[in-house]
Amino acid sequence: MSDALTSWYLENRRPLPWRASQDPYRIWISEIMLQQTTVQAVIPYYERFLKAFPTVKDLAQAPLEKVLEMWSGLGYYSRARNLHKAAQLFAEKGFPKTAAELTEFPGLGPYTSRAVSSIAFEEKVGVLDGNVIRILSRVHNLAVEHWKPAGRDVLQTHADALAQVDKPSDLNQAMMELGATVCTTHSPTCLLCPWKTSCKSLEANTHQTLPLKKPRAEGEIWVWQPEIMMQKNRVALVQNPDMPFLKGQWVFPGKISRVKKKPETFDLKHGITHHDIYIQIKKASAKERQKLDVQTAKGVQWCEVGSLSSVNPSILLKKVLSHLPS
């Protein structure tokens, strides 16, 4: 099975920029960016990021604000923060060559560690992302709860068995490619699949029902009431103390509360993971600005509006400013 898949991959793979070499730095950057983001969306960000930080040393020495600015638009900014922390460790210690060692670094979980070690260093370990979970569930006709440890262990065992080849780098990338282009979530093109004759779910006509769907997490509804305090062309920011999203980042001061239902009035809506955020914008009075001035020593900073993205690149803050009442 491995040989058939690898042969198919070498003939059909897309010319993606991170496939041009086995540089662990470039592979690592691409894998972090591809979390929660599509391939086509990642490509321009990847190229821009590598132009700004061509080596792990460049990334390690860069200010965090610059890293966040280059990450702007990809979302999930904790990824960028962990990337920066890990780069500093990699620059000092070098890249470990095994998945077990890589998992000790910030932001590298089992999947990313295995992807980097197998693609960059040919470690014979299988990867298990959404694409691979779908393929293995179908080819082995496995109705397992892959979001639970027991189910993941079953699939990981199959993935590891397939990776016992001369070039696990090709095998693992072939799995990802097959899931992205042929064994897709909806309407898989089974006739083009190199495993069509050995796919147990295709034979049983259960391929459209696999993998099992993870029960959806209950969405959370939040109301945020940011107070926009302006001084000339500067806006006040506080380091996020209470919000369950954008943790630790500089945001507008204001109240945040979780509610049971959508508010009747709001200025705009924004979504972050399973948080639905309804925003009620308030332009602060002169008295409130004076009060904030007194608190400057307690973690408040005044930021030039034009430099906001370098302090917090989240599009949420930009959306709030664009809806500011006159």
Quickly list H helices, 53-184: 56-61, 64-71, 78-93, 99-102, 110-121, 130-139, 149-162, 168-181
Please classify residue 233 by burial: count the beta carbons closer than 10 Å to its beta carbon, then call 0-12 exposed, 13-18 middle and 19+ buried. exposed
- Look up 31 and say whether it is catalytic: yes
On whether the CB atoms of residues 5 and 179 are closer than 8 A, the answer is no
| Residue 219 vs residues 102, 176, 273, 276: alpha-carbon distances, Å | 33, 29, 9, 7
On whether the CB atoms of residues 271 and 283 are closer than 8 A, the answer is no
Residue 13: name the closest of 5, 21, 22, 25 by CA.
5
**Which residues neighbour 56 within 8 Å (Cβ) at sequence distance 6 or greater?**
25, 87, 90, 91, 95
Two tokens at 75? 């979302």
- For residue 322, the surrounding DSSP H or E stretch is helix 315-322
Q: Which of 11, 31, 203, 304 is catalytic?
A: 31
3-state class of 181 per DSSP? helix
Q: Write down how long the chain is.
A: 326
Residues annotated catalytic, as ranges? 31
